[in-house]
Structure 1
Amino acid sequence: MQSIINKPVTIMAYEHTARGLQLRNLSKISQTRLYTINHHNTHRANTHQRLTITQQQHYHHHQQQQQRSIVFVRGQRVQGLIRDPSEVLSSDGVKYGAESDNLAPLKNYLSSLNLSTKIELPDELLLQIITHKSFAHGSKPYNAHISFLGEQILQLCATKHVVGKSKNLDAIGSLAHRIMWSDKLLAAFAESKNIDKVFFCKKALPGGNIDKLYKPKSIYSTITSSLIGAIASKYGKNAAEEFIEKELIPAYKN
């Protein structure tokens, strides 16, 4: 029986070696040795399979550890934690909403206008005028689209004004022409009329410091341009042009 087990067999097979998987001539290796090799290869395969399963379990466990278990944090901002929703929906300490105190600056200004058409805008539109797209991650109706409409009408009126004044088409594109819809002028107009007292936006400052007195012109200029766009959307282009000619252009001259 011993001689049968140790009888050489003729076979070519792959074997795991220190140099990797190699094809070897096993014709002079006994069946006992061949069984040992096959058993070793099977053991390596099972070990690799168990290792793969262990790695997957470790990966899923690591993913579960990365999930946030804290919804928000109150008080001073902590990096990496979600903010309190009540803080997200506030700007400079003013809570977002169509409350009378929030809309009072715009309503008071519109009631003082001396135009051929009495301008009365709904509260939802007034709130949209004073809401920038940077506020609350753009989750609330913001003024970007009506601001764009107002800018186009303002550029048209500015072109009519400079051409009618100089009787020369070379004035189009000049500094005097372009400054009429510049962020600096529009932001200064909003401040002079006190319609920027309540404005929902996010101010990005170096180091994360927030200064209530800091008013980025590129953001606060949208109050004026969106007001023009809102008037045009409610009362038409002619009413918006009259507003520009009687309110904005005189402010530009001064």
Structure 2
Amino acid sequence: MNLFRSSIRPSVIPRSYLYSSFLVCRTQINPQRTIVYMDGLTKDDRITIAPVRTEYAARLDQTYTEVEDAWRRLTGEHAAAFELPRELLLQVFTHKSFRHGIFPYNERLAFYGRKLFTLQIALLVSAAPSESLTAIAGKDIDAVTAPTADHLLHSRNPIFNVAKASQILPLIKWKSAKNFEDVLTAPPRKSGLFEAGSQTIFASIGAVAMHHGGAKAEQFVRRVVMGGPYGILKVSVTS
């Protein structure tokens, strides 16, 4: 048994092998075989031995396709302008809670994206012309502290509603905070879906900024997050 254990070492999993429902290990005894730790199996059936490269490649390609479809749905007619690499898209849709954060996740992208979102909202609401005594260069600085702006700047509800309306929530990779029969119908704040969904939208902004630059990120906020088919302005009007 010790000899068998010592012959098994977890592989260094390349990026193209991420996000499967199993952990891949190679054996030194027979490198052509693969030990697969499958999810959902009983303890006795935990280990199976089978070649999985072809099956996994197909599953990974399907995951990429689903995430790309969700991205095109979110961005609408602007999909071509904000196209992202498949690997980066998958990171955008991956919360830190997924598999204990062993895969690339979106936390830093979301942090960056939220800062950019806050800046753009402040610029948008303060750009309205004003003749107030407190106006600066003819612009309404008081609008930044108005209730509507304050709601956009400090509440995640509008951002979560974008994720919900665009139907990208089922594609987000995350782990529920509690055991629910259906995490998509459970209270989102209790399950953790509220956090995962809003963070995915913020991460989208961060990813666009990192890949396309700040100017594109500004357009993404204005054309997709705010004014897109599932944007904050559209959702607010229809809800």
Instruction: For 1:67-86, list aligned pairs within 5 A.
Output: 75=40
1:106 CA drift (Å):
3.0
Look up the match of 1:27. none
Stretches of 4+ aligned residues off by more than 4 angstroms: 72-77
| CA-to-aligned-CA distance 1:109-153 (integer Å, 9 cap, x gap) | 3673338x7222111101001100011011110000111111011
Does 1:220 find its partner at 2:193? no
Unaligned runs of 5+ in 1: 1-71, 86-95
Alignment match of 1:197 (pick from 133, 146, 170): 170
> Partners in 2 of 1:173 and 1:137 — Cα distance?
39
1:187 to 147, 152, 160: 160
Paired residues for 1:88-99 under 5 Å: 97=60, 99=63
Alignment deviations for residues 144-187 of structure 1 (CA, whole Å, 9 cap, x no partner)? 01111110110000000111126322232443123225321111
Write out aligned runs for 1:1-254 (5 A).
75=40, 97=60, 99-109=63-73, 112-114=76-78, 118-165=81-128, 167-181=139-153, 182-205=155-178, 208-213=179-184, 214=186, 215=188, 216-250=193-227, 251-253=231-233, 254=237
Which amino acid counterpart does residue 130 of structure 1 have in structure 2?
F
Single out whichever of 100-109 and 211-220 deviates more from structure 2.
100-109
Provide the C-alpha distance between the structure 2 equivalents of 1:129 and 1:163, rounded to a whole number of angstroms.
30
Larger RCO, structures 1/2 (Cα 8 Å, 6+ apart): 2
Deviation per CA, 1:70-128: give whole Å up to 9, x if none.
xx897589xxx9xx69xxxxxxxxxx94633432333433673338x722211110100
Q: CA separation in 2, counterparts of 1:238 and 1:103?
A: 24
Distance in structure 2 (CA, Å) of the matches to 1:175 and 1:97: 45
Q: CA deviation at 1:226?
A: 0.6
Unaligned runs of 5+ in 2: 1-36, 48-58, 131-138
The one-letter amino acid of 1:220's match is: G
Distance 2:125 2:183 in 1: 37
Q: 1:114 and 1:122, CA in 2 relative to 1: closer, same or farther beyond 3 A?
A: closer
Determine helix, strand or coil for the equivalent of 2:77: coil
Secondary structure in structure 2 of the residue aligned to 1:172 = helix
CA distance in 2, matches of 1:141, 1:175: 37
Which deviates the most, 213-222 or 171-180? 171-180
2:113 is aligned with what amino acid?
Answer: G
Contact in 2 for aligned 1:149/1:226 (Cα 8 Å): yes
Deviation at 1:245, TM superposition (A): 1.1
- TM-score relative to the length of structure 1: 0.57
**Number of paired residues?**
169
SS in 1 for 2:105: coil
* Change beyond 3 A, Cα 1:178–1:113: farther
- Answer yes or no: is the 8 Å Cα contact 1:203–1:210 preserved in 2: no
Report the identity percentage: 27
CA RMSD of aligned residues (A): 3.3
Aligned AA (2:142): D
Q: Give the Cα–Cα distance (whole angstroms) in 1 for the partners of residues 112 and 226 of structure 2.
A: 18
SS at match of 2:127: helix
CA drift of 1:218 comes to: 1.9
